Chain A
Amino acid sequence: MISGVLVIFFVLAALAVFGAVSLILQSHPIHSALSLILVMVSLAGLYLLMGAEFIAAVQIIVYGGAVMVLFIFVIMLLNAGVEERTNFSKMATFGGVPLALALGGIIAAAIARSSGQLPAPTAAAQGALTSTRELSKLLFSEFVYPFELTSFLILVAILGAIVLAQREN
């Protein structure tokens, strides 16, 4: 049964995978960064498809916008040139390739063993995903301690950045 949603899912998934592969294969840092933006935006599309519109918008604003702009800004500022390519190191040949194959096998096995049906989301989770209001209510009631701790962590990181920047002078 191929529905419109499924078609959109495969287009977005293909874009995300294409972006991820291109991120590694591109030799210029800016092109790699652009591929990463493509991945971020496709992921936002996938979130939107799942009905998590707030997460989708925030994904683009924070990751697609703020974080990646900073990446691009730094690459442009340093005027980084084309990367140098090395041949497969021993580590990659004996460690990397088998591990990558193993990971691919595990994921494939997990997909093959699944019944082809996603478990139906619980009512609470569904409500939390569809409405921004419900999401914020959950954040500030049930998950208030993890939320505040994360904010605190970010604050510490900001202070750390300021201290590091001040040390230069």
Chain B
Amino acid sequence: MSEILAKYGFLIVPIIKVAILVLVVLTLDAYLTWLERKVIAHIQARWGPHRVGPHGLLQPLADGIKFILKEDPMPTGVDKKAYFFAPFLTLMLALTSLSVIPFGPDITIFGYTTNFGIADVNISLLVLFAITALGVYGIALAGWGSNNKYSLLGGLRSSAQMISYELALTLSVVGVLLIAGDFSLKHIVEKQAGDLGLLSWNIIGMSKDHGSFTQIIGCICFFIAAIAETNRVPFDLPEAESELVAGFHTEYASMKFAMFFIGEYTSMIAVSSLFTILFFGGWLSPFPASWTLTHYLPSVILVPLGLWVFYDGTRYETILGRIILPGLGAVFTLLGAGLFLSSTVNELIQGPFWFFAKVGAVLFFYIWMRGTLPRFRYDQLMDFGWKFLLPVSIANVVLTSAVIMWRMK
């Protein structure tokens, strides 16, 4: 086994990693829509999806089948090349952006050490920005190619919005780059490790390292710009339904619509991952490394959660729910117990556990905002981007460089 891996590992391992990542991310996307509908429903005092499967858990599956089986009409007078190319481009770029994100520290399986991500590029941050820069075309082409005035307006708004906020997005990261002195996301995370746990993350920046400085301004600017880049509430003007029907994807149906949808949720995951890596220490635990007892936290969360799902499932109204939910609960409980017993596996999942916990928190924040905030007006959006966000991020660059210069003396 190890001989084969040593010889052909460079070819086999990435293929396996890509397959796993695509599978995990597409499932995550599907359940993110479920979570979003559930959370917003509860914010608005509704139930949300609850018919298909227990607690509506099979709703994503039903949606997927619906997307595949629906008729896919093409409006007349569309620009065929742009119309067909746009959804592919959107989905492709969104999935590609995940390839440079490190989900955890390097791992060793069967004596083969590899990075916990698909590619470990030393300019990974720049690669991500390059992909974001190309991301505008999917939406702009969809809007222009659809031969529909609402689509065109949506596409135009989106291009203008993305150009405006890309500047603030890039500049808000410069502070972190100055501290890390590196474009590699892996090194940016490693630079945030310290004896102080979460206090040495870039957002607080109390690392013993002389070049560290709090990046809270950059963090806020990055988050606002990132929401605008992913076209989410309160910056979802490209698809403002009360003015533009559905904006750039008005004329898309069936699987092509689903591709835009999956692309949007995948870029949400990518942006949340980047946010976590840049400001919240990536895969690092928020506790100091000496607190080894916190390594059992995954089990401590999984076992009670599993037991509660099991208990809740036995009382569920439908027969299907009384089978699925206790089964799910049992799986959670066994996973938690297994992690408690096997310390090697437990150590292996520490990094990914914290990474996905943080990304999950950021994604929840995204959904929470959608349930809370009203949409910006278009001129407010442009004013905010150019007259507030951009100057503040430039000020952050100047401030951070000044502090680093001063501390180096």
Q: Are B81 and A76 in contact (CB under 8 A)?
A: no
- Within 8 Å CB of B144, what residues of A? 30, 72, 76
- Within 8 Å CB of B122, what residues of A? 53
Q: Are A61 and B137 in contact (CB under 8 A)?
A: no
A 44-79 binary contact with B (CB < 8 Å = 1; else 0): 100000000110011011001110011011001101
CA distance A58 to B143 in the complex (A): 27
Contact of A57 among B82, B126, B162, B166 (CB under 8 A): B126
B 136-174 binary contact with A (CB < 8 Å = 1; else 0): 110011011000000010011001101100100000000
Q: Are B126 and A54 in contact (CB under 8 A)?
A: yes
- Within 8 Å CB of A132, what residues of B? 123, 183
Residue of A60, A65, A79 contacting most chain B CB atoms (<10 Å): A65
Residue of A44, A66, A69 contacting most chain B CB atoms (<10 Å): A69
CA distance A115 to B134 in the complex (A): 39
CA distance A58 to B163 in the complex (A): 16
CB contact under 8 A between A66 and B133, given known A73-B140, A76-B140, A76-B159:
yes
Q: Are A69 and B162 in contact (CB under 8 A)?
A: yes
Residue of A nearest to B155 (CB): A76
Q: Is B106 an interface residue (CB 8 A)?
A: no
CB contact under 8 A between A69 and B126, given known A76-B156, A132-B183:
no
Interface size class of B (residues with CB under 8 A): 20 to 34
Q: Is B384 an interface residue (CB 8 A)?
A: no
Contact of A61 among B133, B143, B162 (CB under 8 A): B133
The A-contacting residues of B in range 152-211, CB under 8 angstroms, are 152, 155-156, 159-160, 162-163, 166, 181, 183
Q: Is B127 an interface residue (CB 8 A)?
A: yes
A 74-113 binary contact with B (CB < 8 Å = 1; else 0): 0011010000000000000000000000000000000000
Q: Is B323 an interface residue (CB 8 A)?
A: no
Q: Is B72 an interface residue (CB 8 A)?
A: no
- Within 8 Å CB of A133, what residues of B? 181
Q: Are B159 and A69 in contact (CB under 8 A)?
A: yes
Q: Are B163 and A60 in contact (CB under 8 A)?
A: no
CA distance A94 to B126 in the complex (A): 47
Q: Are A64 and B159 in contact (CB under 8 A)?
A: no
A54 CB to nearest chain B CB (Å): 6
Residue of B nearest to A53 (CB): B123
Q: Is B129 an interface residue (CB 8 A)?
A: yes
CA distance A30 to B155 in the complex (A): 14
- Within 8 Å CB of A58, what residues of B? 126
Q: Are B156 and A61 in contact (CB under 8 A)?
A: no
B 97-128 binary contact with A (CB < 8 Å = 1; else 0): 00000000000000000000000011100110
Q: Are B130 and A60 in contact (CB under 8 A)?
A: yes
Q: Is B241 an interface residue (CB 8 A)?
A: no
Residue of B nearest to A37 (CB): B137
CA distance A2 to B163 in the complex (A): 42
- Within 8 Å CB of B160, what residues of A? 73
Residue of B nearest to A60 (CB): B130
- Within 8 Å CB of B163, what residues of A? 66, 69-70, 73
Q: Is B79 an interface residue (CB 8 A)?
A: yes
Identify 7 residue pairs between A and B in the complex whose beta-carbon atoms are under 8 Å apart, listed by A's number.
A53-B121, A58-B126, A60-B130, A72-B144, A73-B159, A73-B160, A133-B181
Q: Given A65-B166, A76-B152, 17 more contacts at CB 8 Å? A: A30-B82, A37-B137, A41-B134, A53-B121, A53-B122, A54-B123, A61-B126, A61-B133, A65-B132, A65-B134, A69-B133, A72-B137, A76-B140, A76-B144, A132-B123, A132-B183, A133-B181
Of all A-B residue pairs in the complex, the 9 with the closest CB atoms, nearest first, are A65-B133, A57-B126, A60-B130, A61-B133, A73-B159, A53-B123, A61-B130, A57-B130, A76-B144
